[in-house]
Structure 1
């Protein structure tokens, strides 16, 4: 590559503008190396979206020196997803615009990886914390250790291979090790580069590693690339228009087709003529009983917000049963609206589709208030940051036992 072209490539790479779609021909000529990953089965949908950002930016760093491709793990069997049978998995394109993801790094659906490469993985690393803990001495490190937790793969004596089921698919692994690790995502780069001849590597329990730069430029680039699928965006738009008198043109929330071109005027989003609330119930009622309000306390706060913003409608995203939502409706002075999915929507994407539609609708409100330490609320706040809403209408939460409570940290977007 001529010097001037190499200089331009490095400039684009370090500035955060370079994407998988713009990789130079020399990179495309290198053999592809695939990284698969998975997350603890007990982790929810919105935490998994956070782990994706950790891994996608790890792959971006790896791609500076090799031709890495991230394999997208199917979605399913999550604790909070109860409307579909166990064993139901959805590809990423069900929920996200995969073409948009590829504007940041090269990704491929798991099913397409298996079709092209077969069900054999060269190397598997099961990540885990150190059994002895960090003992008050934080340092970036990893070591091969005996496996602490049970994993999906069993050793086959007859051929020395490992076999296991992931995402309803029988996989074979040639080599498997358990790795105790303490550090950020980039800590594993020497480990992955050590296996230079490995065409496919699997990272189990990827939530074990931390963000390299939470809230930084790369974090927000990866997060902005995670646009929702057209199907779910259209469903949310139809609901907003029909029930909330809301659309992007009137609300100041129009977006460009390519997220890399979108740098809206800061705090320009107006939002629809409604407020939105994420009211987490279920396990939070006991797990965070001091911080989660009763229905009466939630209604009192909602009424105050409605009056302050001179609107009469609140959209509620909640895991509460129908009888609690009806009770809340009777306590709020304005109109209480929530999204009820059709059978067609549930067939397309199950509870994951409902969660995303709820988040889209909530993100477009004139004012949003969430639930203490809920990743569902965090994701809505991020959407509102991307859309350019004022901070004071975004980073809020309902108070629990105490009428005055600490509000969420303001994680501002960085371009």
Structure 2
């Protein structure tokens, strides 16, 4: 009689991915960050532990966030497989673009490293009691707007105005700034700055693609894509690939390589083909020609935007410093102060220009923001201190060293991320505890 094989316990918490089967599916990067929070550890520590577990060499300067975990390259394949193995959650590749790796060129899926996000999505997450998380669609450079809220995605903290604040740090709590600790959805001011119809269309198409990948019966195959492209060329341009190339804004040699070699179109090229033929991006990549008919001339999204336009010299911008000064005065009256950097970003000028041309108001903005930061930093510290002292007493009573690893296991991550200069604060906490009568 064969021994019954038991389902082994998972090494890491089996977190349920968020948004599967929808355009708002979570990215693997977000899942990894939530996993670190769930284990009360830093993303850096967890990334090193995962790498060592699978016997990968870890360099001293290893930065997990430089890996394109949610793309469709080796990093995405390695990390989705590793996290599936450690959490017992199958098919975590659905949190990446991996299902489309056979129909999109490997170098044809640009991933944004700065970490963009939608302020309103994060605010909506928190308001609904849901854990804030990063959407997979946000990882693509070709998605620049949120189709749900019709606002432009941003990479800057609405409070401190700094860039690369979403996840580029050793300790990450999804939804909170890695620089100043503020909630990234705390201000949902309008980022609608000349949003073009093509940006919304592109966001909608990629969102539909990600929603469909959870229900794929089989992985899309390159040959099916090429068969569809051949059919579209035949129906729309009489089989003339040169005319089709001009239609979608690529070189005719590029189309030749698609049809005659093993080359695969980029995601941008696929979007261009979809826009000009009236087929959806999902249908194109899955080889589904059901109910497709060539659009009448002028009906297709003649996204002139997908076609290369002759370069024009951009005229120098004339700045109305009277209006800019008026806007700066309005910024001074905002209930939540903003930094000079954030003010400059909203006005689409450089901070140094503000200091040169509106020196007094810019300095007032800066001083007001610094005073606000100081008050908030002290308020955060006051709120966190009871947690830190209680955890510190527990650690020291067990005869252990009071370090970040021990504290992350005992203090909520939102509390730790709100404290600036955490290591110095921990030293002060230890000194205060050792001087207290109860510890003598």
- Structure 2 length as normaliser, TM-score? 0.25
User: Higher strand fraction: Structure 1 or Structure 2?
Assistant: 1
| Greater C-alpha radius of gyration | 2
Q: Which one scores higher on RCO, CA 8 angstroms, separation ≥ 6?
A: 1
User: Higher helix fraction: Structure 1 or Structure 2?
Assistant: 2
- Structure 1 length as normaliser, TM-score? 0.26
